[in-house]
Amino acid sequence: MNSSLYAKLAATNIRKNAKNYVPYILTCLITIMMFYMMCFLAKNTALRTMSGGDSLIMILGLGTVVIGIFAVIFLFYTNSFLIKRRKKEIGLYNILGMEKKHIAKVLAFESFYVAVLSISLGLSFGILLSKLMVLALGKMLSFKISFGFEISGSAVVTTLILFAAIFVLLLLNNLRQIHLANPIELLRGKQVGEKEPKTKWILALIGLVCLSGGYYISITTKSPLDAIGLFFIAVILVIIGTYCVFTAGSIAVLKVLRKNKRYYYKVNHFISVSGMIYRMKQNAVGLANICILSTMVLVMISSTVSLYIGFEDSLKAMYPWEIQVTGYDITKDEGETIEEVIKEITDSHQLEQKEIVTYRYMYQMAKQEGNQFLMTDADTYVYNDGAVLYMISLEDYNRLLGETNTLKPDEVFVYYTNNKLTDDTISFGKENYHIKAMANASEVNLVFSPDMVETYYIILPDKDAFAKINHELGNVTEDINRIQYFYGFNTDAPSEKQLAVFEDILALRRQADVEPFQSLRIQSSEYMRSEFLFLYGGLFFLGIFLGTLFLMATVLIMYYKQISEGNDDRERFEIMQKVGMSQEEVKKTIHSQVLMVFFLPIVAAAIHIAFAFNVITKLLAIFNLTNIALFATCTLVTLGVFIVFYALVYTLTARTYYRIVKQ
């Protein structure tokens, strides 16, 4: 036989097996498309330059890794289904006189065709859809930045390498199975694999440990910055845990149930439990896939939706005033000039300044050891023991609150955000102060931009104290340790007017020969709104988009599961009917069994999400979303919608399954 014959035979095989091959190629295609698009976004340079782009890139990078892992497992799963259905055919070839090496050649050609077809189509669709997606995203959010209508070369290469490797591995796995089997086994291929699975206690234990480790991390994570790094570890642990628990844990639990005679010997339990022990062997991976996919879909959609909905809150938290002016080393006179000039501008727009606030503060990063704050370099900022100190003079404090508090030269007021100080002495390097009063920052109307690490507001008695503390905590960079001037106000004017005022102030800064104006930082919450919308809207879009894709994968897995299970179960139910089980009971049992298989992953996903809730709220805090109630609502609503969709697929599937079994 020459090789063109193998090639032809392989092509004919694919055509003849279209019923099995088309969904398989489609699966490969969609997976490749998904991976390319995720990779494309993760490597996108435009995203990186956006404000908050780094975290986004990191999340997308995590997404790429997860899709990569998912692709390997998912393709192995669908491939095993395919090869199982084709064993009979391959056995026939063997019996008709083809040697195994000939069969191997045919299979290699088949894999080659499938690989070329699905990779080329997957990449084309990926490129096409990534453009479409960017176009749609641009239209939805009216981009100012060109999001890059580009083909990412490195994403193409990554996709090619990964999937070429996967296809080679799949081929090797198929060859291994065929090589090990004799023709008779191949002919009966579909019937083998019915041996009772062993209980793997160690694997089940590993699963539990990983799962509880992941849960523990996500529950105990306190600061948003920890969350970024730990979230990844927790996700990996939970994924490993889910696979182990589904594969080994489920069988262990079912076997324990079987040991309980009172429970086991009841009509429903009897048939479901025994059936499930066998089903789990083939389906555990599929169910774990569904569970992880569902969790991802739910987390992604609920968090991006709540970011999108809550973006007004985030904006308000970041920019409490409509117009904010900040600058360093502004003297009292300069401050008054700034306020006067800006007042003139608002007056010229017939607007009234409301809720005007002016104060000066010093911003310090420090290493915290109990009640002691020490000099630090900027990198320490990200670690657990880093803290942020806002220092305000008593004078400004009293003016802001309209109170008349007093402090002795060695006394301070302290406001904390999360962690109370334990002692009544606070020290900055070698400088010690007595804490006259301490309260939670939420009890006082001090508005600063929220920080991701522990933040303290310190009310200092006089200028001397500022100088001393500045000296002790060091000059990290010049900007940071200087006294900062803040001036903010609201106008309650419509958006265009606010922007007009903002433009005028900016223009003034460009022209003014008055010294302080040139170094001022001027911010407008209205101006930032579009940037926020862009970022959060982009994430929202991405969440919905990927959510939909993952949902498609879930449906595909269901399709395979139902076909293979229905065919396997048909014989069993036939026997049971002969032995005296009624149609009604068969129907009931089928429903309870399908129900169990269907809702096991979704229940597990719900548990994952309940545990992940804490760490996700911390991650959302990076995006300045602190409205936990909103996120909780979004999560519940997403879960609800998902369950409704899932129940729909379930009823359809149960019907199909019943039809297959009844044949």
Partner 1 sequence: MSLLEVKNLKKIYTTRFGGNQVQALSNVSFSVEKGEYVAIMGESGSGKTTLLNILASLDKPSSGEVLLEGKSLNTIKESEISAFRRNNLGFVFQDFNLLDTFSLQDNIFLPLVLSGKQYDEMKGRLQKIAAKLGISDLLNKYPYEVSGGQKQRAAVARALITNPLLILADEPTGALDSRATDSLLKLFTELNEEGQTILMVTHSTKAASHAKRVLFIKDGEVYHQLYRAGMSKEDMFAKISDTLTMIATGSARGGDLHE
Alpha carbon distance 530, 564 (integer Å): 51
Beta-bridge partner residues of 439: 415
Residue 573 CB, nearest approach to partner 1 (Å): 10
Helix, strand, coil percentages for the chain (3-state, nearest 5): 70, 10, 20
- With respect to partner 1, which residue has the nearer C-beta, 332 or 578? 578
User: Alpha-carbon dihedral of residues 439, 444, 449, 450, nearest 10 degrees?
Assistant: 40
Alpha carbon distance 356, 212 (integer Å): 50
- With respect to partner 1, which residue has the nearer C-beta, 269 or 471? 269
At 143, list the tokens: 């981009």
Residue 658 CB, nearest approach to partner 1 (Å): 17
Residue 190 CB, nearest approach to partner 1 (Å): 13
Q: 386-393 and 455-460: which strand pairing?
A: parallel
Alpha carbon distance 244, 452 (integer Å): 35
Residue 178 CB, nearest approach to partner 1 (Å): 22
Q: Residue 246: name the closest of 602, 628, 623 by CA.
A: 602
- With respect to partner 1, which residue has the nearer C-beta, 264 or 448? 264
- With respect to partner 1, which residue has the nearer C-beta, 19 or 262? 262
- With respect to partner 1, which residue has the nearer C-beta, 124 or 577? 577
Alpha carbon distance 109, 120 (integer Å): 16
Alpha carbon distance 37, 520 (integer Å): 42
Q: What is the residue whose two structure tokens read 């393709």? A: 75
Alpha carbon distance 470, 329 (integer Å): 14
- With respect to partner 1, which residue has the nearer C-beta, 212 or 577? 577
Residue 261 CB, nearest approach to partner 1 (Å): 5
Residue 278 CB, nearest approach to partner 1 (Å): 5
Distances 413 to 391, 410, 465, 530 between C-alpha atoms, Å: 10, 11, 13, 38
- With respect to partner 1, which residue has the nearer C-beta, 19 or 578? 578
Neighbours of 355 (CB within 10 A): 13
- With respect to partner 1, which residue has the nearer C-beta, 83 or 277? 277
- With respect to partner 1, which residue has the nearer C-beta, 277 or 594? 277
Residue 561 CB, nearest approach to partner 1 (Å): 17
Distances 329 to 125, 505, 644 between C-alpha atoms, Å: 56, 20, 59
- With respect to partner 1, which residue has the nearer C-beta, 289 or 593? 593
- HSE at residue 337, side-chain half, CA atoms within 13 A, is 14
Contact 125, 526 (CB under 8 A): no
Q: 372-374 and 425-428: which strand pairing?
A: parallel
- Reduced to 3 states (helix: H, G, I; strand: E, B; else coil), residue 364 is strand
Residue 284 CB, nearest approach to partner 1 (Å): 16
- With respect to partner 1, which residue has the nearer C-beta, 278 or 540? 278
CA-based torsion, 521, 527, 530, 532: positive or negative? positive
Residue 295 CB, nearest approach to partner 1 (Å): 30
- Residue ranges in contact with partner 1 by CB under 8 A: 194-196, 261-262, 265-267, 270, 274-275, 277-278, 572, 575-585
At 618, list the tokens: 């911390």
Residue 186 CB, nearest approach to partner 1 (Å): 18
Residue 251 CB, nearest approach to partner 1 (Å): 13
196 phi/psi in degrees, rounded to 5: -65, 130
Cβ-count burial of 70 within 10 angstroms (0-12 exposed, 13-18 middle, 19+ buried)? buried
Residue 13 CB, nearest approach to partner 1 (Å): 30
Residue 580 CB, nearest approach to partner 1 (Å): 3
- With respect to partner 1, which residue has the nearer C-beta, 146 or 583? 583
Residue 589 CB, nearest approach to partner 1 (Å): 10
Q: Residue 389: name the closest of 477, 462, 479, 451 by CA.
A: 451
At 465, list the tokens: 């104290």
- With respect to partner 1, which residue has the nearer C-beta, 201 or 265? 265
How far does CA 479 lie from the centroid of its chain?
A: 35
At 270, list the tokens: 């009897």
- With respect to partner 1, which residue has the nearer C-beta, 373 or 657? 657
Cβ-count burial of 3 within 10 angstroms (0-12 exposed, 13-18 middle, 19+ buried)? exposed
Determine which helix (DSSP H) or strand (DSSP E) holds 224, and give its type and residue range: helix 224-244
